[in-house]
Amino acid sequence: MELKFLGRGGAFLVEEGNTSAFFIEGKTLFLIDCGESVFSKIVRVNLLKKNQINKVFCLITHMHSDHTGSLSSLIYYCAYADINNPINFSIVCAKPLMDDLYRMLEAQGCADFFDFVPAETLSNRYRSFSKIQLIRTAHQGQYPAFCVEFTTNDGKVFYSGDTRDLELIHSYVREVPDIERMYLETTLLDYSGNAHLSLRVLNEIIPNNLRPKVFLMHFDSADCIKKAEELGFQVVECIQ
Ligand SMILES: [Zn+2]
Ligand SMILES: [Zn+2]
């Protein structure tokens, strides 16, 4: 399973857009995160109409606005852009995010235009994956954040979301035998208390032979993209 990207920047790298991935199966769009720039990119590339999308599953990894900032606009758009053919919208997230997400979207007036779908109800319904698992991770303070793991016919596809949990990444690399792809966030920032994965440490814990399968994203700078490539990692490219 190959993810496509609408943006690959961190919260402040506005020229790269907020990191958000997607894939399409039939007329169903699976979207991961919907930060501030994501709705406008979806409209600009005509992603929904071009692919005759009639169903959206939006996976949310955590509440930061570079991951949820245009979610309500997308939900409204799906409900109203073509009033005769509304696009059915479901949010897939872990339980600890549900109340906060609901309150945010209710305050923004779109509580009637989506539902929550537990990840496990998507098992064995699609060709692209057989299972989606949301894995709790550490990102900023104690606030809940989640990685996403897809089980596919070709192996596991791991998407880190935002995380600072280097041990989780390290153990995943050591213990999961059938990694098809890993999508990992990274930053050049490197200090104790970092909320993100330092590229320096990823360089220490990701073996060279795995790097053709390791795609980096959520960059903090153009320099970070360049250094990631120099170290033999893949860097995600965005659709235009
Ligand atoms: Zn982020
Ligand atoms: Zn974040």
Q: Where are the beta strands (DSSP E) in the chain?
A: 4-7, 20-25, 28-32, 55-59, 88-92, 115-116, 131-137, 145-152, 155-159, 179-185, 214-217, 234-235
pLDDT bin (cut points 50, 70, 90) of residue 41 is very high
Q: How far apart are CA 239 and CA 5, in angstroms?
A: 6
Q: What is the mean pLDDT of residues 161-180?
A: 96
Architecture in CATH of 4-235: 4-Layer Sandwich (3.60)
Task: Indicate the pTM of the whole model.
Answer: 0.97
Q: How far apart are CA 111 and CA 46, in angstroms?
A: 25
Mean pLDDT estimate for the chain: 97
Q: Give the pLDDT confidence of 14-36 residue by residue, as tens digits.
A: 999 999 999 999 999 999 999 99
- Per-residue pLDDT at 65: 98
Residue with tokens 């993209």: 225
Q: Give the pLDDT confidence of 196-225 residue by residue, as tens digits.
A: 999 999 999 999 999 999 999 999 999 999
Compute, in angstroms, the gap from residue 57 CA to the centroid of ligand 2.
20
- Per-residue pLDDT at 99: 97
Compute, in angstroms, the gap from residue 218 CA to the centroid of ligand 1.
7
- Per-residue pLDDT at 171: 96
Q: Which protein residues have their CB within 5 A of the ion that is ligand 1? A: 66, 162
pLDDT bin (cut points 50, 70, 90) of residue 128 is very high
**Positive/negative CA dihedral, 168, 232, 64, 237:** negative
Q: Give the pLDDT confidence of 130-152 residue by residue, as tens digits.
A: 999 999 999 999 999 999 999 99
Q: Which protein residues have their CB within 5 A of the ion that is ligand 2? A: 64, 162
Q: What is the mean pLDDT of residues 33-51?
A: 98
Long-range Cβ contact pairs of 222-228 (< 8 A, separation 24 or more): 222/13, 223/188, 224/186, 224/187, 224/188, 224/199, 225/8, 227/188, 227/199, 228/186, 228/199
